[in-house]
Amino acid sequence: MPELVVTALLAPSRVSLRLLRAFMWSLVYSAALVAAAIYGCVALTHVLCRPRRGCCGPSRRVAPACLKDPALGEHGFLHLRSSGLRLHYVSAGRGNGPLMLFLHGFPENWFSWRYQLREFQSRFHVVAVDLRGYGPSDAPKDVDCYTTDLLMADIQDIILGLGHSKCVLVGHDWGALLAWNFSIYFPSLVERMVVVSGPPMSVYQDYSIHHIGQFFRSGYMFLFQLPWLPEKLLSMSDFQILKTTLNHYKRGIPHLTHNELEAFLYHFSQPGGLTGPINYYRNLFRNFPLEPQELSTPTLLLWGKKDPYFQLGLVKAIESRFVPGRLETHILPNAGHWIPQSNPREMHQYMWAFLQDLLG
């Protein structure tokens, strides 16, 4: 068929797709402006209620001692083959078994896996990384440095760079989204997967279109589409919005100590410390609309019934995409969003049972 004819036949589809994307971006930026107004009022209220803190959060000069706890493992840096970036990680149990790789969410870092590092180092080589843009890891400033393809290459380079050919991949929140994608793109490198409080992006997209309530739970995602303003709002009144996110009496991490809170805030408080993490969100809608994808990696899915950010209905939506027999799901009735830190005992029990046959 002549190329001109093919081009003519495809033209209506291309125009429709461009119109759909234009409509999507108009909705996204409209929602972003609304979210900016809401979060702006929240940030201003924090400043007015705590005037001594000022508008901008100061940089922490000394890292809290818990970030250097030797019981959690040894600190190291890995140079990635694909990008040349240097990523920070904490490792324990080398030589004790298969690689168990932990991917954190926002606003967190490797320290969010402290309970799991202690629990599984006796039978696994446990490694918790600071993803690109976080903590001591390299943090490119350009938004284009945080695309899905580049993040997938990072995970591949981490696994191979640590001397393994496959891993048990464990992800929470943003780390969960990355884990889902990685299991699709590089299934041979993932032996088992444990996903906590996070859907595949294609499932989230389709579910949100039909459940408007999920959009309201995700208002911060739209705020983060804007340049520079999210960083400013999150840093106001000594990072009070982040503090509230992490230690809120209902939605936050229960029993989070001051030092543990500072373990997360320390790196975010450094110059440019929020830009890399927020750039992940600035790439969320780049590939819209996403095609539905079949999921087949043996997966343990843990979900909090009281999660304030993701509706419970997403679990059923995830199950509908799976090859039968490959997904084990547990809904924790008293848990919220931060299961690795709020409900570590339950999480560990389910993980040991799920991974038992790997240990011989």
Q: Where in the sequence numbering do the catalytic residues fall?
A: 173, 281, 337
SS in 3 state form for the chain?
CCHHHHHHHHHHHHHHHHHHHHHHHHHHHHHHHHHHHHHHHHHHHHHHHCHHHCCCCCCCCCCCHHHHCHHHCEEEEEECCCCCCEEEEEEECCCCCCEEEEECCCCCCHHHHHHHHHHHCCCCEEEEECCCCCCCCCCCCCHHHHCHHHHHHHHHHHHHHCCCCCEEEEEECHHHHHHHHHHHHCHHHEEEEEEECCCCHHHHHHHHHHCHHHHHHCHHHHHCCCCCHHHHHHHHHHHHHHHHHHHCCCCCCCCCCHHHHHHHHHHHCCCCCCHHHHHHHHCCCCCCCCCCCCECCCEEEEEECCCCCCCCHHHHHHHCCECCCCEEEEEECCCCCCHHHHCHHHHHHHHHHHHHHHHC
Spatial CB neighbours of 243, under 8 Å, sequence gap ≥ 6: 261, 265
Cβ distance 299 to 105 under 8 Å?
no
